A and B are shown apart, each in its own frame.
Chain A
Amino acid sequence: MRDLTLTTSDQLKKRHAKETRFQWYGRIAILISLSFLVFMFVAIFFRGAGAFQQTKIGLDINFDQTLIDPTGTGDPEIIANANFKPLITKSLAQAFPEVTGRSETRALYKLISSGSVFELGNMVKENPELIGTSQKIWVTATSEVDLYMKGKIDETISQDLRRLKDRDIAWVKQLQESGVIKRKFNTALFNNGDSREPEMAGILGAALGSFFSLLVCFLISFPLGILTAVYLEEYAKKNRITDLIEVNINNLAAVPSIVFGLLGLSIFLNFFNLPRSTPLVGGIVLALMTLPTIIIASRSILRSVPNSIRDAALGLGASKTQTTFHHVVPLALPGMLTGTILGMARALGETAPLLMIGMVAFIVDIPKGVTDVATSLPVQIFLWADSPEKGFVERTSAAIIVLLIFLVLMNLLAVYLRRKLERRW
C-alpha cells in the first residue's frame, strides 16, 4: 500500500496552487469583460438620462379668437392653418415688458422652440373650446436653454463661442426667479418623429419603423424558415443537392449584412419597384438576413427531438406528415420561436442593409403602415450621432437606451418562452 498522506504533500501543494491560479485567471477574465460592459452601460446611461427630461417655459397665453379663427367658424382646417406665433410673442412681451426692439424681441422668441407653435396648434385642434380663453401653457424651450438648465453650458467661456449669449442667460435666470421655467418629463422624445430641432426630435417614428420592419420580417422569415427547416430535416433525402443547400444556408448566415442591403436595393427596389425607404422592403431584406439563422436554429431544434418520439408515432401507424405535425413540430416549436426571436433581435439592431434601401432619410412623419417611408431605431441613432447640434448628443444615448431595452425585452421573451413552453421528453 502506498502511503496516502506523506509522499504527495509536495505535489499536493503545487497542484492546489495551480488550481487556484487557474480559477483566478477565469475570475479576472470575467471581471474584465464585465467591467467593459458596466462601463458602457454607465456611460450611455449618464449621457442619455438627461434626454428623458426637458425644459419647459410657462407662458400665459391668450388664445385670441381674432388670431386663430377670426370668423368663428370652428372649422378645424382654418384652425390648423392659423399662425400661433403671435400668441407666443404677445405672451413673451407681457412677461418681459422691458424688452423692446426688433432684434431683442426676436432673440427673446428664440428661447422658445420653433416647434412650440405646432404644439399650441395641436392643443387647440384637440380642444377648440380653448379659443378665447387665457391659459398658462408650458411650452418647450430650445435645446440651448435646455442644455443650460441641465448645466451643460459653460458660462465662463466667451459668449462669442456659444449660441446662448449672456443676455439670453440673464432672461433665463429671470424666468427661473419667477418660477416659470421647469424641467418636465420629455414626452416629445416618445411622441414625435425626427426633427431638425433636438428638443422636438422623438423616436416614435423610428420605433414604429422598426416595428413594421420586424413585423414584415417575422411574417416572412418565420413560416419560410420553419417550413424549410422541417422539410430539410424531416423529409429531404440526404444527397448531394441537400448537402449543397445546407452548405449554402450556412454560408448565407455568414454573409455580411450590407450585402443583403445591396441585394434588396437591386432586386426589390430596382427590379420589383417596391416603394423606397419603406418598412416593407426593410422587412424583406431583414427577413432574408434572418432566414439562415432561423433555419439553422430550427433544424438543430428538430434534430434534438428524440427519434424515439418519431418511432413511437410511426410504430402506431401514424403517417410521416402526422408524425411531423402532431408530434415533432409541436415539440420543436418553442425552440423555433426562441430562435426566431433571437434572430429578430439581431435584425432589430441591424443598420447596414437598411442604409442601402434608403431607410436612412430624414423622415419627420410617423409611419402608419408598412408602405410609409420610415427609418428604424438603429438608423435613427446613426443619424443623430451624425448631427452637429449639441442637443442630439444626449438624445442619441437616450435612443440607444431605448433600443437596448427593446433588445433585452426580446431576449427575456425568448428565455421566458423557452422556460414556459419547453417540454421534457
Chain B
Amino acid sequence: MDMETEKKVVANQAIMTARNVDVFYGKKQAIDNVSLDILENEITALIGPSGCGKSTFLRCFNRMNDTIDICKVSGKIEFAGQDIYSPKVDVVALRARIGMVFQKANPFPKSIFENVAYGPRIHDLAESKAELEDIVITSLKRAGLYDEVSDRLEDPGTSLSGGQQQRLCIARAIAVDPEIILMDEPCSALDPIATAIIEDLMESMKRHYTIVIVTHSMAQAARISQKTAFFHLGKVIEYGETEKMFTTPDNELTQNYISGRIG
C-alpha cells in the first residue's frame, strides 16, 4: 500500500500545497484547518454539501477571495514553491498562471475571437497580430471548440449554446497558458451531452494542465477525477484516490454523503 502511494508521488509532483488553511468571512469560519496537495497533471475533485466551503477553498488558489472585503485567509498555500499569499506576490501574475472557469458560462459580450484574445492581450503574450490569432486558434482547438466556430469567430460569444459558451470560457482560460485550471461547477448548468463533451475535454486537457474542479455531481467527480476531497462544514473529511473514495471510503461521513444517506 505504501509502496503504491510512493510510486504515484514520483509520477506526479504536488504543484500546489495547502497547509492549515483557515478562511473567515467576517466572524464566520468557512474553512477550518485544511491541508491538502494538488498533484500535477491530475484532476482533483472537491465535493461536499452546499456551504461546505469547497468553492471558497477553490477560490483561495487564485486569490479570488481577495475581491471580497470581509474574507480573510490564513495558513499557507504554496504554488510551485512560492507562498501565494505573501505580500510580494503579484496577484495578476498569479491569476495568469492559475486560470479559472466558473459555474455559469460567462463569456464577455464581445466576439468569440475577442473573448479568447483578451487574456493574451492584457498580458502581452502576443508580439504580433498573427501570433495572437495563432494563440486564439490553438486555445479554441484545445478547448475542442474550433471546428464548431471556425467560420464565425466574429460572432458574439453569447450567441453560442450553453455548452459551447462554457468551452469558450475554457479556451479563454487556456489562452493565457496557465498551469492550473480551477473549475467551479462548470457543468452545473449544462445538459448531459454538453457535460459529457466537457468531461471528455478535461480528460484530454489533463496532459497539459492540472485541473481542480468543484462539483455537486458525485457521479461527475467519480467519472473524471483521480483524487477526490470530501469537504464537510469547512473541513476536509477525506482526501484520496477517487476510486477508493467511491468504493470503500474510510470515513462514515463520506460514505453517508456519497451514497445519499441522511447523516
User: Which residues of A lie under 8 Å from residue B93 when comparing CB positions?
Assistant: 317
Q: Does A420 contact B (CB under 8 A)?
A: no
Are A312 and B102 in contact (CB-based, < 8 A)? yes
Q: In the complex the two chains form, what is the Cα distance from A312 to B108 in whole Å?
A: 8
Q: In the complex the two chains form, what is the Cα distance from A315 to B67 in whole Å?
A: 11
What size tier do the contact residues of chain B reach? Answer: 20 to 34
Are A311 and B102 in contact (CB-based, < 8 A)? yes
A345, chain B: closest CB distance, angstroms: 28
Closest to A239 in B: B69
Are A315 and B95 in contact (CB-based, < 8 A)? yes
Are B109 and A316 in contact (CB-based, < 8 A)? no
Among B69, B104, B173, contact of A316 (Cβ-Cβ < 8 Å): B173
Dominant secondary structure at the A interface: helix
Stretch of B117-125, B229-237, B246-254 contacting A (4+ beta carbons < 8 Å)? B117-125
Q: Does A13 contact B (CB under 8 A)?
A: no
Given A311-B64, A424-B158, A425-B158, do A317 and B122 touch, yes or no (CB 8 Å)? yes
Are B109 and A423 in contact (CB-based, < 8 A)? yes
Among A316, A326, A423, the one with the most B-chain Cβ atoms within 10 Å of its Cβ is: A316
Are A311 and B96 in contact (CB-based, < 8 A)? no
User: Which residues of A lie under 8 Å from residue B158 when comparing CB positions?
Assistant: 424-425
User: Which residues of B lie under 8 Å from residue A237 when comparing CB positions?
Assistant: 69
Given A308-B104, A424-B158, do A317 and B123 touch, yes or no (CB 8 Å)? yes
B209, chain A: closest CB distance, angstroms: 15
A70, chain B: closest CB distance, angstroms: 74
How many chain A residues touch B (Cβ–Cβ < 8 Å)? 22
Q: Does B164 contact A (CB under 8 A)?
A: no
User: Which residues of B lie under 8 Å from residue A316 when comparing CB positions?
Assistant: 95-96, 99-100, 118-119, 122, 172-173, 176
Q: Does A163 contact B (CB under 8 A)?
A: no
Are B173 and A315 in contact (CB-based, < 8 A)? yes
Q: In the complex the two chains form, what is the Cα distance from A311 to B183 in whole Å?
A: 13
Closest to B109 in A: A423
Q: In the complex the two chains form, what is the Cα distance from A314 to B172 in whole Å?
A: 12
Q: In the complex the two chains form, what is the Cα distance from A308 to B67 in whole Å?
A: 13
User: Which residues of A lie under 8 Å from residue B95 when comparing CB positions?
Assistant: 314-317
Are A425 and B109 in contact (CB-based, < 8 A)? yes
Among B69, B100, B104, B108, contact of A327 (Cβ-Cβ < 8 Å): B108
Q: In the complex the two chains form, what is the Cα distance from A206 to B119 in whole Å?
A: 52
Q: Does A238 contact B (CB under 8 A)?
A: yes
Q: In the complex the two chains form, what is the Cα distance from A425 to B101 in whole Å?
A: 17
- Count A-B pairs with CB separation below 8 Å: 66
Q: In the complex the two chains form, what is the Cα distance from A308 to B104 in whole Å?
A: 8
User: Which residues of B lie under 8 Å from residue A309 when comparing CB positions?
Assistant: 106, 108-109
Q: In the complex the two chains form, what is the Cα distance from A308 to B107 in whole Å?
A: 9
User: Which residues of B lie under 8 Å from residue A134 when comparing CB positions?
Assistant: none
Among B92, B104, B107, contact of A317 (Cβ-Cβ < 8 Å): B92
Are A312 and B123 in contact (CB-based, < 8 A)? no
Are B109 and A315 in contact (CB-based, < 8 A)? no
Q: Does A319 contact B (CB under 8 A)?
A: yes
Q: Does A227 contact B (CB under 8 A)?
A: no
User: Which residues of A lie under 8 Å from residue B169 when comparing CB positions?
Assistant: 312
Q: Does B62 contact A (CB under 8 A)?
A: yes
Q: In the complex the two chains form, what is the Cα distance from A312 to B106 in whole Å?
A: 7
A280-320 residues with Cβ-Cβ distance < 8 A to B are: 306, 308-319
User: Which residues of A lie under 8 Å from residue B92 when comparing CB positions?
Assistant: 317-319
User: Which residues of A lie under 8 Å from residue B176 when comparing CB positions?
Assistant: 316-317
Q: In the complex the two chains form, what is the Cα distance from A308 to B103 in whole Å?
A: 9
B2, chain A: closest CB distance, angstroms: 38
Are B119 and A317 in contact (CB-based, < 8 A)? yes
Are A317 and B96 in contact (CB-based, < 8 A)? yes
Closest to A331 in B: B109
B64, chain A: closest CB distance, angstroms: 7
Q: In the complex the two chains form, what is the Cα distance from A317 to B176 in whole Å?
A: 9
B75-95 residues with Cβ-Cβ distance < 8 A to A are: 92-95
A142, chain B: closest CB distance, angstroms: 62
Among B107, B109, B173, the one with the most A-chain Cβ atoms within 10 Å of its Cβ is: B109
Among B64, B94, B122, the one with the most A-chain Cβ atoms within 10 Å of its Cβ is: B122
Report, nearest first, the 7 A-B pairs whose CB atoms are least far apart. Answer: A308-B106, A315-B100, A317-B96, A317-B95, A423-B109, A316-B119, A312-B106
Which chain B residues have a beta carbon within 8 Å of chain A's beta carbons?
62, 64, 67, 69, 92-96, 99-102, 104, 106-109, 118-119, 122-123, 158, 169, 172-173, 176
Query: In the complex, given contacts A315-B102, A318-B92, what are 14 additional A-B residue pairs having Cβ atoms less than 8 angstroms apart?
Result: A238-B69, A308-B104, A311-B64, A311-B100, A312-B107, A312-B169, A314-B67, A315-B95, A316-B95, A316-B100, A316-B122, A316-B176, A317-B93, A317-B96
